[in-house]
């Protein structure tokens, strides 16, 4: 059972046959590259207020300027980078937390399980969107990192549940029982036997959390409780709102950010769901092109 | 038949009690956290309000003093934390959630009651309608799996369901309100029109209502469609479907069974969505200045009106917990497979 | 609400005058006392006359509730007759003492601008339901409402609108005229965009909120104070404050350099939509002629090289000032202190105040350009004000100082150099403080001018804060249905917040579209046959009075104290329920609750522990 080959097979199959996956992959990579390289290739300071105000798109300012004279394209490029960074942070923290707590709960069971279960329960019952907004508003020092941690707090519980469930079912499988009987240390079992098998779940959720993080941060910034003095896709829309861009018809301020947000989140979601059959044999049987 | 067996089960009652206790505990902890957070940061709300007033018209020094005195009396600013907490708990249980600062002298409960009908009017029809249309569409598409139309529809609904609601709202206003001048750019009513059963009121209200409704409808329908289709898809892979198929049962009959089981999570989703009605849709309501719950929360956040935020939080979270609980009960009653 | 309960006198900042409304006139009797005469015609809407007792009890109730008009004033009021009362700076029970302050403009205005409420109504409520009854009394029943202004509440709509109806036989109609609008609707509109849309359509007549791009609305018949930039009337000066706990900023040279390094026009254009002009270097709002007379232009030529008293934007000069003062440019291109320490300034404004956010960015950018390293942070408004008032974490900040008003320009100097702004900045200037105390006692115009000149020179030498521009008084009106609105060419009164007493004169002057607007007869100074009392005259009268000896009190008073003499405890007090306990007494109520709560928590914990320790089933 050479797992490696099957993975590579299905991935190349995905690229060749699943058009939707291909499109999503291209879109996301394009956005990623724009975020990484954009500010370098277009080195305009997004905070600088010296340009002529309210210019529509033109050669020197491809996306025009806003009411204060800031270049919109520079803000957009910078914003993509910030949003991706935040999404990444959120994904890392929540995946880490969720995997750690979920696997400890699932593997060791007992009182650890009860505590994690209780915590998860509590966090899942509260209306996370609403509470997130209020809690964020109360934080006086809103940096990108702190926000990412707060957002992760609401993401990890559902995921941890899933991890726990996966591990519990794995514990019943033969090879694990074999490892346990052969008195391998718990950590070795966790790392060598269990982890590879839940890798799929982790990776898929990571991609999905990337999207969630971007989505949440954008929403928070739009209301005005995002990170202070930070340019992100959401803050672009926030400024469009406060500077009355809609009433004044400054479409270049609010149309591009929304497109990018939708594209990023959608492509990440497609990637996440498309990757599932790569690792999940049952879905593979049904036919990858289906999903 | 189900209900009688439920009622007699001791185990069920115990788990019910557990659930209730757990909910109350969670509620209490959440409320307390929201209570404590703003009081941990050193800040001076009096000067904030005064400086913003200052720049609009002249202010006399006596007003500052009067304002500080009022803040002290009404909001307990300056008292020790534990006293404020006790005061908060006692007042909450007696139904007094305080007085809003930015809407002074309206009481928080009043504002909530004022806003609820608007939010319900906006959200309930849009949730129900989008759910219905979405579920039917999703089922239909799931039924027609493998065909071209499925792929196209799926891609569309996927993309649309991920459009940020506030962005779509902005686009709506831009297109239909400012460019085409077909609809008003916000508010719920034109000035001078008061709620009554007259055609003037109803037509004016609907005119204001259309854009926010359509915004939510579009995004949510896409979401429900995708959901339902995924559920139908996964049901179609179940053992019993294969079995029925291999027996040569007609597709439409199989489908009826599939629908029944796929509907359950979908219904649960509906229940949860309805439970979230009280939260209001902060984004759409704010962008359209539609005076619902979400709008007031957003306004309170903007002006840091702590009593309002706190009071609304207590009420909203309470409602959500209650409705989630009811949904849980219903789910247990309806879905035999979920009963443990 | 000043609209329903106008004050004794109403102040207008555009003309710097007082309009006697409920009151008829006042006399300064001696350096401690002013006598106020209520109009004989003044009546409440239920027919009862407005009396000195109303003033007395309004203040008495405010004191009981610790909030409301003129807290504690009643202790200084002696009722002379039905419509006349004396207000003294000493407590009436005690009489003048050696340390009693003499009457000042602010204490005089405290009583002149006081609201008067119907004591017969309020005391009735107090007698039956105590202080809480008064505090919770909403006064929203139109049938029972008793007011003194020309409008009363007709209906109260929970959807944020109040409808007022004119009282057709209002007592003041012979003095001020009957207002033409029969109904006045007060809409609470929280959203600017929606309100602007309504203004544009003419659905709103009078708007006092922020407007972006007001000049674009002129073609719809919308007007504002002026049809030329800056369009709006100037309000308080917005200043850039310094945290002088930072030793770099404690050096006046650095502050002056910063003043020269600010691109004022850019700031106003980008941050304020050109809705204002650069402020004078000391904060005097010279847009108004009556205040401009206090400026000593010779000083301005001496210090700034121009006679309009503005600090010019001169980055070269800013750099030069720093270099001359011993600051050197470090290896990274930024200034360091004379002993080589790098300079890093932190500038801040409240998060969400978008105009100010843009302004501080522009200023920081400019400072960085001349070599002063500045970074920008934002804080939530409550946190921001807490920090700057305590001098924590922020070096450069913005705030609104005190501005046009009866005490201008003294209040500006006082707030920046002596009182609250000075304490925020940790600044002190004893010479200035002394001058500020002396000025109210002067009555000779020349002496006053000289004193201000000295004060201004102290300011220019020290530059404790940099006034940037004047906050605009937001104002817009629609001429679709009503004309006669006050504006720059029709400045009989200043525009103001519609709900205040100061809004009444505006309404009294409106006529329907089509009719010819004319300035009301009373809208002129007394010297021209109207009713306006110019503030400078008040100031001079005060100055004269403070130099006089106090007259012996009893000789001007009736020998017999009238039956309701304020020095007796007012009859109602003896029947009162005990006044509200101060909050400090309440904590004792909660000890039982705390004990109960602790017991509950312990019980829950025990139950939870027992539950967790139960033997687990093998299936999960």
pLDDT range class, residue B218, cuts 50, 70, 90 = very high
User: Which pLDDT score, from 0 to 100, does residue C346 have?
Assistant: 95
Is residue A151 within 8 A of residue A216, CB to CB? The reply is yes
Burial class (CB in 10 A: 0-12, 13-18, 19+), A155: buried
Pick among A21, A134, A260 to test the B interface (most B CBs inside 10 A):
A134
Torsion region of C466: left, alpha or beta (phi above 0 gives left; psi -120 to 50 gives alpha): beta
| Residue C241: predicted pLDDT | 94
| 3-state SS track over chain B | CHHHHHHHCHHHHHHHHHHHHHHHHHHHHHHHHHHHHHHHCCCCHHHHHHHHHHCCCCCCHHHHHHHHHHHHHHHCCCCCHHHHHHHHHHHHHCCCCCECCCCCCCEHHHHHHHHHHHHHHHHHHHHHHHHHHHHHHHHHHHHCCCCHHHHHHHHHHHHHHCCCHHHHHHHHHHHHHHHCCCCCCCCCCCCCCCCCCCHHHHHHHHHHHHHHHHHHHHHHHHHHHHHHHHHHHHHHCCHHHHHHHHCCCCHHHHHHHHHHHHHHHHHHHHHHHHHHHHHCCHHHHHHCCCCCHHHHHHHHHHHCCHHHHHHHHHHHHHHHHHHHHHHHHHHHHHCHHHCC
The residue among C379, C385, C410, C378 whose CA lies nearest residue C399 is: C385
Q: Report which listed range, B86-95, C68-77, C352-361, is most confident.
A: C352-361
Among partner residues B155, B282, B324, which is closest to A125 by beta-carbon distance? B324
Question: If you average pLDDT over residues C118-127, what whole number do you get?
Answer: 83
Q: Which residues on chain B are in Cβ contact (under 8 Å) with C198?
A: 190-191
- The reply to whether residue B283 touches residue A223, judged by beta carbons under 8 angstroms, is yes
Tell me the pLDDT tens digit for each residue of C340-381.
889 999 999 988 888 888 899 999 999 999 999 999 999 888
Q: Say if residue A259's pLDDT is above 90.
A: yes
Record the pTM.
Answer: 0.80
Across the range B86-108, mean pLDDT stands at 79
Q: B75 contacts in C (CB within 8 Å)?
A: none
Provide, as residue numbers in chain A, all residues whose Cβ is less than 8 Å from the Cβ of B179. 249
B208: which residues sit within 8 A by CB, 6+ positions away? B183, B184, B186, B187, B188, B189, B190, B290
Whose CA is closest to C257, among C186, C164, C322, C183? C322
pLDDT at B235: 79
Chain-chain contact of B164 with A258 (C-beta, under 8 angstroms): yes
Residues C32-61 have pLDDT tens digits of 888 999 999 888 888 888 888 888 888 888
pLDDT bin (cut points 50, 70, 90) of residue C519 is confident
Q: Is the pLDDT of residue A287 over 60?
A: no
Chain B residue whose CA is closest to A117: B22
Do the chains contact at C378 and A228, CB–CB below 8 Å?
yes
C213, A47: Cβ pair inside 8 Å? Answer: no
Q: Which of B11-15, C41-45, C236-240, C552-556: highest mean pLDDT? A: C236-240
Window A:107-166, CB contacts with B under 8 Å: 118, 121-122, 125-127, 129-131, 133-135, 137-140
Long-range contacts of C296-304 (CB under 8 A, 24+ apart): C296/C449, C296/C452, C296/C453, C296/C456, C296/C457, C299/C453, C299/C456, C299/C457, C299/C460, C303/C460, C304/C460
- Subunits with 3+ Cβ pairs within 8 Å of A are B, C
Q: How far apart are the first and last CA of chain C?
A: 66
* Binding-face residues of B in 65-104 toward C, CB within 8 A: 66, 69-70, 73, 76, 79, 83, 86-87, 89-90
Identify residues of C whose CB sits under 8 angstroms from chain A CBs: 193, 196, 212-213, 270-271, 351-352, 354, 358, 361-362, 365, 376-380, 383, 612, 616, 620
Neighboring chain C residues of B186 at a CB cutoff of 8 Å: 191, 193-194, 197
User: Of residues B121 and B44, which shows the higher confidence score?
Assistant: B121
Cβ of B86 within 8 Å of Cβ of C113? The answer is no
* pLDDT digit string, tens, across residues C89-107: 888 888 888 888 778 777 8
**Helical H runs in C28-173?**
52-65, 105-112, 119-136
What is the pLDDT averaged over residues A64-68?
A: 85
The interface residues of chain B toward chain C in range 271-310, judged by CB-CB distance below 8 A, are 289, 291, 299, 302, 304
Q: How far apart are CA A161 and CA C108, in angstroms?
A: 71
- Residue B301, pLDDT > 90, answer no
Predicted local confidence at residue A166, as pLDDT: 82
- Best of B41, B44, B162, B323 to disrupt the A interface (most A CBs within 10 Å) is B162
């Amino acid at each position: 059972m050479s797992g490696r080959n099957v993975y590579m097979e299905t991935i190349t199959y995905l690229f060749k046959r699943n058009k939707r996956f291909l499109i999503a992959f291209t879109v996301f990579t394009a956005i990623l590259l724009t975020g990484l390289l954009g500010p370098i290739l277009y080195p305009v300071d997004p905070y600088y207020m010296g340009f002529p105000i309210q210019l529509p798109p033109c050669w020197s300012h491809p996306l025009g300027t806003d009411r204060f004279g800031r270049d919109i394209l520079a803000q957009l490029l910078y914003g993509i980078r910030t949003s991706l960074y935040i999404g990444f942070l959120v994904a890392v923290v929540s995946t880490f937390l969720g995997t750690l707590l979920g696997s400890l709960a699932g593997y060791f069971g007992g009182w650890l399980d009860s505590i994690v279960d209780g915590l998860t329960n509590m966090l899942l019952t509260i209306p996370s969107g609403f509470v997130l907004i209020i809690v964020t508003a109360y934080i006086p020092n809103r940096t990108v990192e702190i926000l990412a941690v707060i957002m992760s707090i609401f993401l990890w519980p559902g995921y941890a549940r899933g991890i726990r469930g996966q591990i519990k079912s794995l514990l019943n499988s033969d090879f694990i029982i074999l490892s346990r009987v052969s008195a391998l240390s718990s950590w070795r079992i966790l790392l060598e036997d269990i982890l590879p098998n839940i890798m799929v779940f982790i990776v898929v959720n990571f991609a999905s959390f990337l999207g969630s993080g971007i989505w949440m941060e954008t929403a928070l910034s739009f209301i005005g409780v995002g990170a202070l003095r930070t340019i992100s896709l959401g803050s672009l829309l926030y400024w469009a709102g406060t500077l009355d861009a809609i009433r004044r018809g400054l479409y270049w301020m609010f149309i591009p950010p929304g497109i990018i947000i939708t594209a990023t989140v959608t492509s990440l979601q497609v990637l996440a769901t498309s990757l599932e059959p790569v690792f999940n044999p049952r879905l593979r049987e049904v036919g990858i092109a289906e999903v | 038949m189900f209900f009688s067996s439920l009622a007699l089960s001791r185990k069920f009652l115990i788990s019910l009690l557990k659930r209730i206790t757990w909910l109350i505990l969670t509620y209490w902890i959440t409320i307390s956290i929201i209570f404590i957070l703003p009081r941990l940061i050193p800040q001076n709300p009096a000067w904030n309000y005064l400086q913003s007033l200052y720049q609009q018209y002249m202010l006399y020094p006596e007003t500052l003093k009067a304002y500080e005195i009022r803040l002290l009396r009404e909001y307990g600013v300056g008292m020790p934390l534990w006293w404020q907490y006790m005061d908060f708990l006692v007042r909450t249980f007696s139904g007094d959630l305080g007085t809003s600062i930015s809407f002074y002298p309206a009481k928080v409960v009043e504002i909530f009651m004022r806003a609820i009908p608007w939010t319900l009017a906006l959200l309930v029809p849009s949730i129900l309608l989008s759910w219905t249309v979405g579920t039917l569409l999703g089922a239909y598409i799931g039924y027609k799996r493998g065909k071209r139309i499925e792929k196209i529809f799926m891609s569309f609904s996927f993309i649309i369901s991920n459009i940020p609601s506030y962005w779509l709202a902005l686009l709506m206003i831009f297109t239909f309100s400012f460019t085409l001048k077909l609809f008003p750019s916000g508010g719920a009513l034109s000035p001078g029109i008061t709620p009554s059963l007259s055609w003037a009121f109803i037509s004016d209200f609907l005119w204001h209502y259309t854009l926010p409704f359509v915004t939510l409808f579009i995004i949510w329908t896409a979401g429900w469609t995708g959901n339902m289709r995924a559920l139908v898809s996964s049901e179609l892979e179940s053992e019993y479907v294969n079995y029925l198929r291999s027996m040569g049962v007609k597709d439409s009959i199989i489908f009826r069974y599939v629908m029944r089981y796929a509907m359950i999570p979908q219904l649960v989703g509906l229940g949860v969505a309805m439970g979230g009605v009280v939260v209001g849709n902060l984004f759409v309501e704010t962008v359209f200045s539609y005076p619902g719950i979400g709008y007031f929360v957003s306004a309170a956040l903007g002006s840091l009106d702590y009593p309002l935020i706190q009071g609304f939080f207590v009420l909203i979270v309470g409602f959500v917990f209650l409705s989630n609980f009811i949904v849980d009960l219903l789910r247990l009653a309806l879905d035999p497979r979920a009963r443990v | 609400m000043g609209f329903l309960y106008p004050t004794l006198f109403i102040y207008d900042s555009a003309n710097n005058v007082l309009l006697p409304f409920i009151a008829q006139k006042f006399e300064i009797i001696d350096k401690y006392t002013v006598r106020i005469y209520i109009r004989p015609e003044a009546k409440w809407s239920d027919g009862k006359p407005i009396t000195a007792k109303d003033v007395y009890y309004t203040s008495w109730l405010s004191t009981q509730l610790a909030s409301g008009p003129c807290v504690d004033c009643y202790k200084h009021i002696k009722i002379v007759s039905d419509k006349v009362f004396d207000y003294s700076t000493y407590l009436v029970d005690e009489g003048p003492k050696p340390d009693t302050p003499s009457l000042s403009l602010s204490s005089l205005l405290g009583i002149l601008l006081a609201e008067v409420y119907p004591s017969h109504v309020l005391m009735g409520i107090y007698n039956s339901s105590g202080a809480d009854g008064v505090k919770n009394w909403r006064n929203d029943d139109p049938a029972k409402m008793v007011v003194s202004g020309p409008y009363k509440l007709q209906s109260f709509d929970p959807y944020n609108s109040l409808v007022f109806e004119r009282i057709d036989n209002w007592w003041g109609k012979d003095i001020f005229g009957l207002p033409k609008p029969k109904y006045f609707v007060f809409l609470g509109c929280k959203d600017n965009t929606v309100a602007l849309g309504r203004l544009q359509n003419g659905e709103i007549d009078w708007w006092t909120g922020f407007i972006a791009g007001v000049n674009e609305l002129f073609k719809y018949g919308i007007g504002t104070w002026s049809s030329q930039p800056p369009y709006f009337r100037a309000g308080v000066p917005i200043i850039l404050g310094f945290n002088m706990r930072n030793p770099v900023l404690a050096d006046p040279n650095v502050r002056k350099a910063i003043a020269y390094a600010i691109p004022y026009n850019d700031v106003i254009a980008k941050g304020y939509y050109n809705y204002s002009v650069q402020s004078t270097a000391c904060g005097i709002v010279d847009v108004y002629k009556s205040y401009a007379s206090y400026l000593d232009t010779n000083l301005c030529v001496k210090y700034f090289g121009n006679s309009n008293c503005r600090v010019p934007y001169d980055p070269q000069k800013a750099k030069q000032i720093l270099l001359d003062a011993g600051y050197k440019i470090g290896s990274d291109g930024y200034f360091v202190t004379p002993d080589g320490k790098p300079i890093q300034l932190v500038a801040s404004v409240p998060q969400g105040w978008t105009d100010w956010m843009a302004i501080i960015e522009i200023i920081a950018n400019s400072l960085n350009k001349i070599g002063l390293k500045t970074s920008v942070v934002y804080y939530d408004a409550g946190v921001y004000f807490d920090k700057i008032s305590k001098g924590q974490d922020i070096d450069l900040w913005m705030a609104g100082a005190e501005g046009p008003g009866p005490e201008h320009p003294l209040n500006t100097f006082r707030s920046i150099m002596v009182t609250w702004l000075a304490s925020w900045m940790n600044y002190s200037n004893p010479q200035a403080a002394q001058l500020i105390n002396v000025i109210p006692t002067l009555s000779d115009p020349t002496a006053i001018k000289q004193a201000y000149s000295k004060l201004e020179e102290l300011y220019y030498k020290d530059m404790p804060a940099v006034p940037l521009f004047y906050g605009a008084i937001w104002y817009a009106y629609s001429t679709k249905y009503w004309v006669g609105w006050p504006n720059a060419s029709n400045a009989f009164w200043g525009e103001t917040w519609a709900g205040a007493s100061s809004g009444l004169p505006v309404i009294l002057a409106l006529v329907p579209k089509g009719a010819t607007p004319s300035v009301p007869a009373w809208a002129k100074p007394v010297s021209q046959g109207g009713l306006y009392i110019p503030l400078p005259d008040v100031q001079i009268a005060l100055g004269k009075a403070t130099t006089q000896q106090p007259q012996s009190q009893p000789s001007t008073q009736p020998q017999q104290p009238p039956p309701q003499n304020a020095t007796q405890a007012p009859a109602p007090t003896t029947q009162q329920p005990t006044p509200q306990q101060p909050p400090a007494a309440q904590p004792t109520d909660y000890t039982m609750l705390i004990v109960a709560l602790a017991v509950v928590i312990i019980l829950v914990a025990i139950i939870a522990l027992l539950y967790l320790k139960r033997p687990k089933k093998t299936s999960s």
